[in-house]
Structure 1
Amino acid sequence: MDAVLHALADGGRRTLLEALGRDEATAGELAELLPIARPGVSRHLRVLREAGLVEVRQEGQRRVYRLRPEPLAEVDAWLGAYRARWEQRFDALQTEIARGKRERRNES
């Protein structure tokens, strides 16, 4: 999971993943999304591939990339415990805010 989190830490790589979440794309199409030279895009794609977030297939001279959602599901599951804890805290905060509003109305 460390490799996935490292890959997700970069905004450019997240941009590439968002595009691949919509549809497959060639390396050239993905390169158009970032304001960096093609070798930099290739490095980003290599990091994503090594983290297991994308897979690539060769179609003639083109490389076509596709998102692999399984590693993202693992991160989501790991974050689930933290999400549940924060949801409980936000629910408690919402209750306190509603209580404060009721008390102010009753005082008026």
Structure 2
Amino acid sequence: MSASIDRTLAALADPQRRRAVELLGRRPHSAGELAGALGLAPPAMSRHLRALKDGGLVEEGHPSFDARVRIYSLKGGATDELKRWLAETEALWMHQLAGFKAHVEASSERLQGSRKGQCE
């Protein structure tokens, strides 16, 4: 697993950050709007936004009318690598489970066959 996936998963590990991502998925927000919506103090929201930026999930911009205001939005393509890793992992699980199923079914058939031979 790559370091960027580790950072993304670490950023998403906190429920408040996941909720912030959900809100940003609807539209960009200022830090104050996010803090208010999540019921967090501004310093706590800043820490969460820093973690989301470090995780590569969020980017910040400034509206043309006021360069002092930061507007946060989701970063395009930020979860692409994570989605690829999840798809590969799911394929591995499906392959392992199919092999396990085949083993159990073959074992069951052998067991039933040996019991049938004992009854005759």
TM-score normalised by the chain length of structure 1: 0.73
Paired residues in the alignment total 92
Residue 63 of structure 1 and its aligned partner are, at CA, apart by 0.9
| SS class of match (2:80) | helix
Residue aligning to 1:79: 86
Select the structure of larger CA radius of gyration: 2
Alpha-carbon distance between aligned partners in 2 of 1:69 and 1:9, rounded to the nearest angstrom: 20
Residue aligning to 1:20: 24
C-alpha RMSD of the superposition: 2.0
TM-score normalised by the chain length of structure 2: 0.67
Query: Aligned pair in 2 of structure 1 residues 84, 14: CA closer, same or farther (>3 Å)?
Result: same
Residue aligning to 1:62: 69
Residue 85 of structure 1 and its aligned partner are, at CA, apart by 4.2
Q: How does 1:33-44 map to 2 (within 5 A)?
A: 33-44=37-48
Establish whether residue 8 from structure 1 lines up as the match of residue 15 from structure 2.
no
Alpha-carbon distance between aligned partners in 1 of 2:22 and 2:15, rounded to the nearest angstrom: 10
Q: Check the 8 A contact 1:56/1:64 in 2, yes or no.
A: yes
Moved over 6 A (4+): none
> What fraction of aligned residue pairs are identical, expressed as a percent?
42
| Worse overlay, 3-12 or 62-71 | 62-71
The structure with the greater share of residues assigned to strand is: 1
Structure 2: 5+ residue stretches without partners = 102-120
Alpha-carbon distance between aligned partners in 1 of 2:89 and 2:76, rounded to the nearest angstrom: 20
Alpha-carbon distance between aligned partners in 1 of 2:37 and 2:81, rounded to the nearest angstrom: 27
Residue 84 of structure 1 and its aligned partner are, at CA, apart by 2.8
